[in-house]
Structures are given as C-alpha cells and as structure tokens.
Structure 1
Amino acid sequence: MNYRAWQLKNADTAGESALLAAGYGPLLARVLACRGIAQPQAAAALLEEEPPLSDPFLLKDMDEAVARIQQAIENGETIVIFGDYDVDGVSATAILYECLTNLGAQVRCKLPTREGGGYGLNRETLQKLADKGYKLIVTVDNGISAIEEADLAAELGIELVITDHHLPAQQLPKAVAVVDPKREDDTSPFKDLCGAGVAFKLCAALEGCEDPAELLEPFGELAALGTIADVMPLVGENRTIVKEGLATLQDTLRPGLQALLENAGYAGRPVTAETVSYGLAPRLNAAGRMDTAAVALKLLLCENEEQAAGIAARLSEINTSRQQAEQQIAAAALEKLSADPARVLDRVIVVSGEGWHPGVIGIVATRLMEKYGRPSIVISTENGEGRGSGRAPTSFNLHAALCACAPLLLRFGGHSAAAGLTIEEEKIGAFRKAINDWAAKEYPVPKPLPLKLDAVADIAELTVPTVQELSRLAPFGSGNPVPVFLLQNAAVDGIWPLGSEGRHCRIRLRQGGAACFVSLFGTAPDDLPYRMGTAVDAAVEVSIFQGRGGPMVSCHCCAMRPAGLGNAPAEQAARFDAFLSGTALPDDERLACLPTRADTAAVYRMVRTGNVFADDLQPLFATAGPENTGKTLASLTALEQLGLIERRGSRYQPVEVTGKKDLSSAPVLRRLAEGEG
C-alpha cells in the first residue's frame, strides 16, 4: 500500500500581502510567498528578468579545451565527437557538430548503443577509432568516469577533451582538458548545466562570444531539449536557456524539429517544457532505447523537410514499440509480483524476466516504485546474465545499497535515485535477499513518499485570469515544479467516466456556491471510493485549455483523500508494512496495531457493504479513525489470512464459509500479540 505524506508549504501571509499590494494576483502571490519569494523586487527579478549566462572561460580547463580544438581545426585534423544515447547526449552532439562544422572543422560523430558497449567510452570503440587514425576525441555528456579508457586512449595516441556534467570521482581521467562544472576545483558560478549546456558553453568559447546568449538563437532550442529531458533544475542559467530555447522552438527553423512537433501533434500549439517532456523527449529517447540514437541525431541535424518528415515518422514508430514493450514488461512484472505477494512486502522490490528489453526496464522500475512506494529493480536476463535498472525514492540511497551487495554483482553504477547493474542470473535470488537484508538494517521503517503542495486555494479563486497568471512562473520542471494546490473540504458533486474506455474519472467538486471539474486518471468511476456528497481534500494542478466558449480552467487531481484525514494513516501504514516485512516494532507501536475482536468485526461489516476499495483504503481509515489505521490494516490482513474476505476486482468482498473461524489463529494477530518480528 502506497499512501503519500502530503507536505504543505508554510504559508507566508505577510509576503503574500506585500505581493498582492504590488499587483500580483492571489494564486501567484501565494505560490511565490510560499516558495520564499516574498518581496516584490525578488518576484519581479524571477518573473521579468533572465539570469545572465556566465563567461564560459570561468569553467575549469576551458582554455585548454579551446586551444586543442582550434589547433585541430588549423591542422585539418578530424575531430571525433563522442556523445551519449539519451536526449541530452544527442542534443550536445548536435550542438558541437554544428558549431565545429561552422568553424571549418572536419568532424565525425560517434554515439554508443545500449546493446554494444553501453554508456560512455569503451575499449573496443577506442581501438576502432585509433585504427582509423583519429587523434582527437571530444566527449559530450560523458567521460568524467572514464579513468581506464583515458589511459588506453593515451596509449593508442588519442588525445581527449572531456566535457561532462556528471559528478566526478576523486580521480579525474587523464586528458588535455576536463570541462565539468561539478569538478571540485571548478569555480564557475552555475553548477547545474546538463551535457548539452556544457557543450553550448564550449561553443560560446570557441566562437569567442563576449556573451554566450549570442548563441541562444542557433543552439538554444537544442540546449533546452537536453536540459528539460535530463531533468535539470530550471533555475539560474538553465531558466534562461530553457526560456529562450522554447521561444525559438515555438517557431523553429529546423526541419527536424518542425517534423517532430508535427508528428507528436504539437504543431501550431504553444510550446512549453511539458511539450518537450511528454511529446518530443520520449520520441528522441526511444531511438537510443530501442534502436540507435543515430536516428535521433540525424533528425536534429536534418536540413531537408521531406527527409525530416520520414525520420520523425520513424521515431514515432520506434516510440510506439517502446510503449508496447514497456506495457508488456510492466504487466509481466506485476503478474510475477501478484503470484508471490510476499515480494511486494520487500523493502526493495527485485523482479526479473527473460528477454525483457533492456531499453525500457528503467521506465518499468519507475512505475513499480511509484505504485508500491519503495525502491524497485527490474532485471532482464539473457544467456545466463542479467542487466538491471533500479529507481528509488529520495529517502533511500540505491547506490549505497548496491555497494553493499557488490560481491554479488559483475558491474554496477549510478547514484542514490537511479542505478544500473549486471549480475549472473543464478545470483539474482541471493541479491534480492542481500539488498533487502541491508535495507532492513539501514531503513527499518521506510518513510511514505511525499506529495508536495504549494498552498491552500478555494475553488472560487480558480478563475481564468488567476490561473493564467501562474504561467509567468514557467518554464516548469525540476527545481520549479508546476504549483500544486490543496482544495480543502470539498464535496463530491458529480462523477463521470473520462476517456474513450472510461478508465478515468471526471469529478465535480463543490465548496459552497463554487464548483470545479477535476480529472483523476487511472481510476474508473466504479473504482472510485468517494461517493456523491463525500467531503474530500484534493491536491490539484491547474491550467488553461481552450474550450468551445473560450479559455477555461482545467484541474488535474494528483491525489484525493477524506477531508481532514491528515498524514497519520500514511505513517502508520508504512510502519505496518515494515512489520509485515519482518521489522520488530517497539512494543507501544506493535500493540497499537493489535485490534480487538470488536475492531475486526467492524472492519468485516464494512467489507460486507461492498465499499472497501483495496487500492485506496483511506475512506476506511477515516471511518475507523485515523489513529486506528494499524488496527484496521491488521484486521484486513487477518480476515484475508483466514479466508473470510478476498479481493475481487478493485474491492474486498466477504467469502461465504461454513463453520466458525478462530480469529486469534490469524498469523498476523499472533505475531502482534506475541511481539515477533
């Protein structure tokens, strides 16, 4: 069970009042104040000014990088750009390729593949490039961890200029230049550039621009693609790059991007960061996931409209294949977990399958993490070897977990939130046990995933002008999320199916005389546990869409729960899950989960009404009392263990049995009573 802890920012009424007095609307003023921008001058600086782009030569080793590349151009050497297979790496490659060719350089591009060598420089590629006589490689979006590969390059007579944005280890690779804003000795003012952003700065240095912003017109849209797709914080210089890049993308002159916008259904529509995140980036990324990233690079560099249309169509086909593979693997993973429910109680979910496409297992791991609220690792096996990809919430350090299991792994890498691994298939079972044993010691009671909310809003405040004004905060993304508002104590006033198959809900919420429609995706009306007249709290994102009668407010419901429920149930549910996983709770917490016969009987009566929904027990928690969530979950578990109830579809239903059942014989109640871990 994955119940989120709602985290509402502290209100700043004084700051909000100051911003209202300065002419800002109520919603914008409230969001700004809650985000710590409480002074009108600071608000104006954020909304009306663009942070300047710093001098590229402030980046450590930029002088050396420029000097070596200029020498290559003057001597007619061929420069090999070595990129990556994701959108950031492809965009960075395209930026540097166009810049160098404009400067008269002889250039070749090389992108790795997931199937052949994987991420970054590798020995086989270096040997092939050396055999062809190439003497200079410039990396983009990779290279900072290529310690051994850099040594080999030197042995082969190849010089390296490394440009990257990933966190370096203590030792840097040996190269002519290592340009990375995250170097410990780098004193440049902005550290959150993506790979394409660093490539953009290199181009500004090569072009001799007094102000890097001079290159935003030719390269800004490509740098924006990489920045958004790589989920970099949209603050500081990134805000300028993305804002200007999106403006250029809106009326792009690049045939490839024109074709991609057309194919994705965004032609003629406002281009936002969401356009890139949900429309363009998945198609460009699909090439590197399912085929070769060279297809995406070819599109970005394409100058022929007819050719571009064909490549864009091909990318959409690849993306459709990616979606199908993702759905099939997700379904297979969920089926495996359903067949062995104990695995869902693991602190770290580990699931594997033969022949699962390695290009999409990371996406499936994300879906499992979001569904179950815990770290998830998905492994594809083939010929006795498994390649895995893992995702973890911010409260869990996945990289540290893999380090603890290193003896069982052939290779691994990544960071706290995402990581990859290679393992012998026969060791997957031992790995699952080892990583869960480690997690049990380091994270005995996992924290519920957070749902961050900006401010409370009344439905009456959600007008077209106030919601339109929020767009001044854009571009939205990491570091500058879309505002989420809390609608408190709103009555469910209407429920309709949404979508061609009715798998979603359109709900009318009412506060007094004001009402709004919210869309809740992934829940059909029959599976919604909130009936007409129910008072709920709803977390919503708001936007404007063009209706038949003009602009209208659209509300997307991120989450819903009974009014006033609070976070106690989410915290108690996390503790109870930990108990089921084997954690020995302190006596007071353990006994707080032990229900009386009357508690369990009350839960059973609720099940008999047919209104206990397995995927959202929050209405049941509210009825039983939020403070009794542990007892409620223990009662449900006991009834299920004794065969008195079962899940049918989305609901728990009673099972007709003959004879009496001894409630105290339920394993969960025995453990709670006796204090077993």
Structure 2
Amino acid sequence: MNYRAWQLKTADAAGEQSLAAAGYGPLLARVLAARGVTTPGAAAQWLEEQAPLSDPFLLKDMERAVERIQTAVENGEPIVIFGDYDVDGVSATAILYECLTSLGAQVRCKLPSRDGGGYGITRDALEKLAAKGYTLVVTVDNGISAVEETAFARELGIDLVITDHHLPPETLPDAVAVVDPKRSDDSSPFKDLCGAGVAFKLCAALEGCEDPAELLEPFGELAALGTIADVMPLVGENRTIVREGLSVLQDTMRPGLQALLENAGCAGKPVTAETVSYSLAPRLNAAGRMDSAAVALKLLLCENEEQAAGIAARLSEINADRQHTEQQIAAAALEKLAADPARTRDRVIVVAGEGWHPGVIGIVASRLMEKYGRPVIVISTENGEGRGSGRAPGAFNLHAGLCACASCLLRYGGHSAAAGLTIEEEKIGAFRKAINDWAAREYPVPKPVVLSLDAAVRISELTVPAVQQLARMAPFGGGNPVPLLLICGAVVDGVWPLGNEGRHTRLRLRQGNATCFVSVFGTAPDDLPYRVGMTVDAAVEVSIFQGRSGPMVSAHCKAIRPADLGNAPSEQAAWFEALLAGTALPRDQRLACLPTRAETAAIYRMIRSGTVFAEDLQPVFAAAGPQNTGKTLASITALLELGLIERRGSRFQPVAVSAKKDLSAAPILQKLAGPDGDQPE
C-alpha cells in the first residue's frame, strides 16, 4: 500500500514579505519564496525574463557534425535522419528534416518501430540502409549507446552523426560526431535539452545563427512538444524554448498541429504545457505505441489542411485503441498479482503476460507504481522472448538495478526512474529474484514516497485573483511542477458523485465561513472513506475555469488524509512492507508492529462496522493511533491470513466461520514475535 510522507517546504517569511511588498500577490509570494525565489529581482527574472539560448557550437562535436552534414548537402549526398517513435524523437526528426530540406539536402526519415526491433539504431536497419546506398545517417534522440552498431556502420561504409540527450556509456560510439550535452567532456552550459532541443541546436549551427532564438519561430513549437512530452525540467533554456514554442503553437500555422488541436477539443483555448501533456502528446505518442510513428511525423510535416484533418482523426482513433488496450493489460496484470499476493510484497514488482502490447506496458508500469508505491516492471512475452518496461519512484535507481542483473538480460537501457529491457522468457523468474535480492541489499527498508507540498493555505485565500497570479509561474512541468497547496483542518461539508458515470467524487470543504469544491478523480463517493463531518488535510492543485457567472477557482485533490495524522503511518508502513518482503527488522521496529489481542479485536470491530476501506486505511490509522500503524497493518494481515475477513469491493468485510480461530497462529504475528516469542512492549 502506498502511503506517502507529506513534506511541506520550509516557509521563508522574510522572502515572502519582500515579494509581497514588491507587489506580488500573497499566494504567489508564498510559493515563490518556498521554492527559493526570495527577492523581487529573482522573481522578475523567473516570471518575466527568458534565459538566453547558448551558442550551439559550445556543444562538443557540433563543428564536426555541421562539417559532415554540409559536405553531404554540397555534394548532393542523401542523408538519412534516424529518429525515435516517441514525441521527442518524432519532433526532433521533423525539425531536422525541415531544416535540411530548406538547405537543399536530399533527406529521408527513418523511424524504428516497437514491433520491428524497438528503440535505437540496429544492425539490421544499417544493413538495409547500406544496401540502398546511403552513406550518412544522422540520429536524433538516440544513438549514444550504439557503440557496436556504430562500428558496424563504419564497416558498411556509413558515417554516423549522433545527436542524443541520454546518459552516455563509459565508451562513446566511434562516430563522425557525437553531440550530447550529457557527455562528460561537454562544456555547453545547459545539460537538460531533450532530443528535439539538441536537434534544434544542430539546426541553429547549420543555419549559422548568431542567436539560436532566431529559429524559435519556425521550430519552437516542435522543440516545445518534445521538451514537454519528454518531461524535461522546464528551467533555463528549456523554459525559454517552451514559453516561445507555446506562444507559436497558440496561433500555429502548421496544418497538422492545428488539426490536432481541433481534434483534441483545444482549438480556440489557451495552449499550455498541460495542453501538450494531456491532449496533444498522448495522441502523437499513440502512433508509435500502437501503429507507426510515421503517422505522427506525417502529421507534423503535413502542409494540406484536409489531409491533416484526416491524419489527426486517425491519431485520435489510435489513441482510443491505446487507452482500451492499456486498461485491458492493467486489469490482466492486477489479476495476476491478486492471484499471487506475495508478489505485491516484492521490493520490485515484476509481472509478465503473453502477448501484452509492448506499446503500453510502460504506462501500465507507471499506474502500478502509483498504486503500490514501489518499482514495477511489466514484461510482454512472445515467442520465448520478453520485452519489459519499468518505472520507479524517485528514491530508487532502476537503471542501477538492471545493471546489477545484466547476466539475466539480453538488452537493457534507461535511467533511474524509467528503463526498458529484453529478456529470454525462461529467465524472468531468475530476474525477479535477482533484482529483488539486489534491492534488498541496496534498499533494505525503502523510504516512503514523498509528497512535496509548496505552501499551507487557508480556503479563504484561494480567490480568483490569487490563483490567477499563480498561473504566472507557468509553463509547468518537470523542474517546475504545478504548485501543490496544503489545506489543513478542513471539514468535509458535502460529498457528491462527479461525472456521468459517478466514478469520481466532488467534495465541499469548509474552514469557518469559507468553502471550496475539490474534485477527487478515480474514486467514487461510496469508495471514499471520508464522510460529511470528518476533519481532513488535503493537498490540492488549483486553477481557474470559466463558470456560468465568470471565472471560478477549481481545486483538484492530489491526496487527502485525516487531519493531524502526520507521517508516522508512512514510516511504519515502510517497516511493515519491508518485513513482508523478507527484511529482518531491528527488534524495536518489529515489536512496534506487533499488536496485542485487544488491538486486533478493536480493528476487527471496525471492519464489522463497514468503515475499513482497503485502498485507504488512513482513517483507521487515525482511529487506532498513528503510532500504532504497524500494529493496524499486522492485525488486518493476520485476520486475512486466518480467513476471518476478506475484501469485498472497496472494503474489508468479516467472513462467517464455523470454528474458533487461534489468532496467535497467524504467520505474520509469529514472524513479528520472532524466534523467542517476544510480546508487544
């Protein structure tokens, strides 16, 4: 169970007062100060000024890349752009294609497919290109790890110019040029460009721009698409690219993007980073996940409005298919885990299924990670081979785990939070054991996932002008998330279903005479353990929407818990989960999780009353005492082990039994008591 530790940023009263005195609204001043922006000058620079785009030739090997490409252009030598199938790779491909064709180059684009070899340039692809006579390939958003492939290309007479933004291996590919800001010997000032950002810089170098910002008008919206979709930090040069790119996208002259906006229902509305993240990027990504990334590239390059409308409609259909497939695979994965609950206690959850669509397993892994609060790897098997995608919370280094298990894998790559792998199906069991053994050594008691809160607020402070001022911090995304605000001690004043199907909930929270409506997505009212009259703390994101009578504040609940619960439950839950996963806890932690018979009986009475919700036990923790969270979890586990309770729907319910059960026989209680039969202190 995923119980996060709420962490409120340290308030900076002096900085807040300084900003307020300079005319910044109190809510904006509080959030800025909490994020370390404490002076009017720093605030003005953050909110209004733009970081200059650095000289592209500061990137290592940029001169060599430009020289080789210009030689090809001058000699009429065809150039192949080898991209990737996600939004960043497709956007990077489109940027470089348009730039090279404008310079008079003969250009062909090549995008990999998930079903045809997967990410990155391959020997097979190189052989086919060589057979057709191509002698220059420029990669975008890939290639930094293609050491063997680059050597093979050289044997075939193909020159490779690699442009990428991923972490390089110890040995770089022996290419004509390797342009990657994350190279250890790269001296360029900004390291967080995405693949499209690096391609943008290459184009600025090819065009001979004194200031790369000259290319923001023709290419900024494509670079912004890649930057936002790849969840890059929206700071420094990325913030400049995204701000300007969104401005261009607002009134785009590209028929493809205009058709995409219209199809997504976003035409005529303000275009924000959220528009890209939640409306445009999923449609573009769906092509590479479910069909062919070439469909997305064709849309970005399309110059005919009628044709663009047709491609956009096709992408919408593919995206709907992606959503349906994702739901099916997520349900199948949950069913497999439910059939073997011990697997959900692993430090790294590994779940595999035959024929699961490889294009969506990464999304499923993300959803399972959110549910269980731990790393998850989802593997699709076919013809004796598995292709996996993993996601991990911030404190866990997934890539390091794969490195430690390299002997089990055919291929792997990625970074700490997300990674992919290829494995022989027969080795999946050994891999699950190996990565969990590694995690047990490196993370014996995993730290709780942290929910970072920007500032505490009163409901009365959430006025339209105050929330409108917060919007000045946009664009929001990686490195600059939407402000998350903490409302403490609010009374639940109303609970209603939200949406036609009633799958979501709308709450009214009250503090004194001030109220606000808060949406809770993904939980129906009957499944929500917070009832009218309860006092809660809520973590919310706020925005403005146009209501019938004008602008109104909208609040989205990211987390909710009983008021004053604190973080003791998240810490003890981590102990308990570590124990279930096989960690030998220190005696004091072990006994802190060992309940008395009376404490377990009290939990059983709560379950009989129908007030224990399986997905959110925080109200139970509050009732039993936050310091007794481990005991509460142990009591519920023991009752489940003895068959005295079961989960029905969203709640735990008692089971009718014909004979008396010996509570001390529950395996979890025996484990907590230890070999000496310790008792709670």
In 2, the alpha carbon distance for the partners of 1:68 and 1:676 equals 74
The alignment status of 1:436 with 2:415, answered yes or no, reads no
1:564 match: secondary structure: coil
Quote the offset at 1:135 in angstroms.
Answer: 1.5
| Cα shift at 1:465 | 0.3
The alignment's TM-score, normalised by the length of structure 2, stands at: 0.98
Partner of 1:505: 505
- After TM superposition, give the deviation of residue 676 of structure 1 in Å: 8.7
- For residues 527-577 of structure 1, the C-alpha deviation after alignment (integer angstroms, 9 at most, x for no partner) is 111111100000000000000110000000000000000110011011111
Partner residue in 1 for 2:447: 447
One-letter amino acid matched to 1:546? Q
Structure 1 counterpart of 2:671, one-letter code? R
Alignment check: 8 A CA contact 1:569 1:627 kept: yes
- Tell me how far apart the structure 2 counterparts of residues 51 and 383 of structure 1 sit (CA, whole Å): 51
Residue number in structure 2 paired with 1:32: 32
Number of aligned positions between the proteins: 677
1:229-628 correspondence runs (5 A):
229-628=229-628
Query: Which 10-residue stretch deviates more, 403-412 or 354-363?
Result: 403-412
**What letter matches 1:317 in structure 2?**
E
- Letter aligned with residue 418 of structure 2: A
Q: Deviation per CA, 1:311-340: give whole Å up to 9, x if none.
A: 111111111111111100000000111111
Give the drift of 1:656: 2.5
Matched residue SS, 1:315: helix
SS at match of 1:412: strand
CA–CA distance in structure 2, aligned partners of residues 262 and 436 of structure 1: 47
**Alignment correspondent of 2:653:** 653
Q: Once the two structures are superposed, what CA deviation does each residue of 1:349-402 show, in whole Å capped at 9, x if it has no partner? A: 111111000111111111111100111111111111111111111111212222
Deviation at 1:74, TM superposition (A): 1.2
The one-letter code sitting in structure 2 at the alignment partner of 1:199 is A
Q: TM-score, normalised by structure 1?
A: 0.99
Counterpart residue type for residue 643 of structure 2: G
> Secondary structure in 2 aligned to 1:387?
strand
Q: Distance in 1 between matches of 2:659 and 2:312?
A: 66
- 2:15 is equivalent to residue 23 of structure 1: no
Q: Distance in 1 between matches of 2:385 and 2:40?
A: 59
Does the 8 Å CA contact 1:562/1:618 hold for their aligned counterparts?
A: yes
Contact preservation (8 Å) 1:333, 1:352 = yes
Q: 2:617 is matched by which residue type in structure 1?
A: L
CA distance in structure 2 between the partners assigned to 1:56 and 1:527 by the alignment: 54
| 242-251 or 150-159, larger mean C-alpha shift | 150-159
Counterpart residue number, 2:65 = 65
Aligned partner of residue 433 in structure 1, secondary structure: helix
Q: Distance in 2 between matches of 1:211 and 1:278?
A: 32
- When residues 676 and 231 of structure 1 are mapped into structure 2, their CA distance, relative to the original with a 3 A threshold, is farther
> Does the Cα contact within 8 Å between 1:31 and 1:483 map onto a contact in 2?
yes
CA distance in 1, matches of 2:132, 2:418: 36
Tell whether the 8 Å contact from 1:584 to 1:675 is kept in structure 2 after alignment: no
Deviations 1:614-671 (A, max 9, x none): 1111011001110011111111111222222221111111222234222212111112
Equivalent residues of 1:590, 1:675 under 8 A apart: no
Q: Where does residue 132 of structure 1 map in the other structure?
A: 132
Structural RMSD (CA): 1.2
- Pair 1:165 & 2:168 matched: no
Q: Which amino acid aligns with 2:637?
A: T
Contact 1:584 1:676 in 2 (8 A): no
* Corresponding letter in the other structure for 2:124: E
CA distance in 1, matches of 2:384, 2:151: 31
Match of 2:218 in 1: 218
Deviation at 1:271, TM superposition (A): 0.3
Alpha-carbon distance in 2 for matches of 1:476, 1:676: 55
Q: Please give the secondary structure, in 2, of the residue aligned with 1:386.
A: strand
Question: Relative to structure 2, which stretch is displaced further, 134-143 or 400-409?
Answer: 400-409
Q: Answer yes or no: is 1:186 the counterpart of 2:181.
A: no
1:594 positional shift: 1.1
Q: CA deviation at 1:584?
A: 1.2
* SS in structure 1 at match of 2:183: coil
Matched, 1:668 2:655: no
Give the Å deviation of 1:675: 4.7
**d(CA) in 1 for partners of 2:435, 2:388:** 14
Residues 451-460 or 430-439, more deviating: 430-439
Shift of residue 68, structure 1, vs aligned partner: 1.5
TM-superposition CA deviations, 1:379-437 (whole Å, max 9, x none): 11111111111111111121222222222222222222111111221221222222222
Task: Measure the CA separation in 1 of the matches of 2:180 and 2:403.
Answer: 25
Deviation (angstroms), 1:70: 1.4
Worse-superposed segment, 179-188 or 428-437: 428-437
Q: Decide whether aligned partners of structure 1 residues 652 and 676 sit closer, same or farther in structure 2, where only a CA change above 3 A counts.
A: farther
Q: 1: distance between equivalents of 2:265 and 2:472?
A: 24
Post-superposition CA distance 1:483-526 (Å, at most 9, x none): 00000000000000001110111000000010000000111111
Q: State the alpha-carbon separation in 1 of the partners of residues 498 and 402 from structure 2.
A: 42
Provide the C-alpha distance between the structure 1 equivalents of 2:640 and 2:172, rounded to a whole number of angstroms: 57
**Contact 1:10–1:34 (Cα < 8 Å) also in 2:** yes
Structure 2 CA distance, aligned partners of 1:669 and 1:183? Answer: 52
8 Å contact from structure 1 (residues 587, 675) kept in 2: no
Q: Is the 8 A contact 1:221 1:245 kept in 2?
A: yes
For residues 438 and 149 of structure 1, what CA distance do their matches in structure 2 show?
Answer: 30
SS at match of 2:53: coil
SS of equivalent to 2:429 = helix
Distance in structure 2 (CA, Å) of the matches to 1:620 and 1:131: 67
Determine helix, strand or coil for the equivalent of 1:477.
coil
Q: Give the whole-Å Cα distance in 2 for the aligned partners of 1:214 and 1:609.
A: 67
Bigger drift between 43-52 and 127-136 goes to 127-136
Structure 2: 5+ residue runs without aligned partners? none
Partner of 1:542, secondary structure, is strand
Alpha-carbon displacement from aligned partner over 1:82-113 (angstroms, at most 9, x marks no partner): 11111111101100111111111111111111
Q: Distance in 2 between matches of 1:644 and 1:566?
A: 30
Q: Does 1:85 align with 2:85?
A: yes
Q: 1:321 & 1:454 partners in 2: Cα distance?
A: 37
- In 2: Cα distance, 1:670 partner to 1:625 partner: 23
Structure 1 residue runs of 5 or longer lacking an equivalent are: none
Secondary structure at 1:45 match in 2: helix
Equivalent residue letter for 2:487? L
